[in-house]
Structure 1
Amino acid sequence: MNLNTDDPQKISENDAKMTWDVSVGLSDEVNKNVADDLLVYLRGQSESAFVPTKELCGMIVNNYYNCMANSKLSLEGKLAKKEANRRGNRKTDVALQETEENICQTQGRLIEKFGRDYSGVFYRDVMSDDESDTDTTVTVLRPSWRSDELNEFFDFLDTLAISDLGKRAGQLKARHHVVVSKAIPRGLVAKMPAWTKRE
């Protein structure tokens, strides 16, 4: 909706794209199709490699409700919101640049340590499940089909996340791992590289 071009072909392609129907609910078939397409698109972006699918779904839901709220604004309200967003964007440019640099550094450290590109292993069904034991401990349930190397990779990611938290890391619950008997989901058999699966 923010397309800025005089190119007739780009305008035509943009107009042909599916968009939210804010006159109906998110569970309507049209909006469900838009949500599915957005998830496929976002999951294909390199920037989303480390973002859990649950968080991406939350972003999509928020986008729908933001578009719905925006559709109810008057012209004056839309212009005021646009100006406020412009000011906010200027303030966040530096923060976004730092985030992108951190992601690149993290990816570099992963490739340097493991010698592999791990961007294709971030599926929801690959992740461990957590079960809170007490206020201070949590059990991490690891699926038995995951290889030792893949488990080591996720442990290393946890280490990076903890180091990034600094002093706040002390607020995290202590974790201990338990392997649970679980077959790899059929939808992941062809997607996951051979080294990620235990023979």
Structure 2
Amino acid sequence: MSPTQANSGRKARANPAAPIDRVVAGRISQREIMPRSPSTGEGSSQGRTEMAAILEDLRFLKSRMGMVYDIAGKTNKTMSTLMEAHASGVQSQLPLGQAGSVGMVPSVGPSSSISPSDMRAIVLELIENKMWKKDLDSEDPALIAENEGKQKWNKDERIDHPDNVRVINYMRDYILSQPRAAGFWPGMVVQKLKNNYKYYHRVAKMTEEQSIAKKKKVRANSRLVEIHSRRVAVYKRHWRAIDEEMGHKPENSEEMAYLHVLQKDVMSDGESGMEDVAPGITMRVLHVARPSWRSDELNRLLEVIDRFSREDDLKRSGPKTKTRMPRQQTSVKEIPAPSHLTLNLPVWTFKNE
């Protein structure tokens, strides 16, 4: 021990230059690794023999490790297949109301590059094409027969009834087999089917008054969408003339200054009804209820756009042109301005109380 080691109080470390003389790995037996001795032929021969034995042991260990990895890969693949088969079997046998019911599929997301919204649209289209339609508007016997042969919900039973479980399983398999639905998530397909059942069940259970009110609401919303789309299209065609007539406002942009104002919820609500427009002439008229929150300036903008729209209709009119339903201002609907409009519309669009 050197004086430095004695003064430090630490024990002397074993000779770091000493070779490692033991190897332990799997079936590799413990054996002395003989140092190479080039001075004698016997030492050299023994060293080569010892090294050959070690290499043989390493090759064996490598082959066993390869077998382990191969078995693990096959096991994972087999387990995945079994899980999918099990989930499919559970869906086809258990009622939907229980745990492990329809929708119990592997939580694997779609591998397709299609966006989720496009996937939902495709699924809904496939459901629409394959499901029975209650109000089929056709007198063609072939179309009627085709409709009667489509899948149909049992509206008198719950969704976990065997009849409805059969429909879900059939439709799920049909949709996932379509090339357009390659890579779609089965759980999303099942959920859309369940939503379709809920909608059909709700509509089927409506009273006559509820059905009339629903149809009325649907018609009103369709008119609102149509009016909004038409006004936007007319404004884009004539925005220079309309902007000039309305005049410039400090907060307006240079081009299409009023386009951002033409939102769907700005449009007037309306209800159609038959009316005598002239002696002996009765036609359907749209009675418009103007919202009370709209300013006079905003009402003027819409009137200017409607005037350009009527002029366009006259230019395009012909013998076979369908006449647009007349609009008639009949009342003012006392409602507050929608909160989302107060945040993104200019102040001049709102009526000052």
If the length of structure 1 is used for normalisation, what is the TM-score? Answer: 0.39
Higher RCO (CA 8 Å, separation ≥ 6 residues): 1
State the TM-score, normalized to the length of structure 2: 0.23
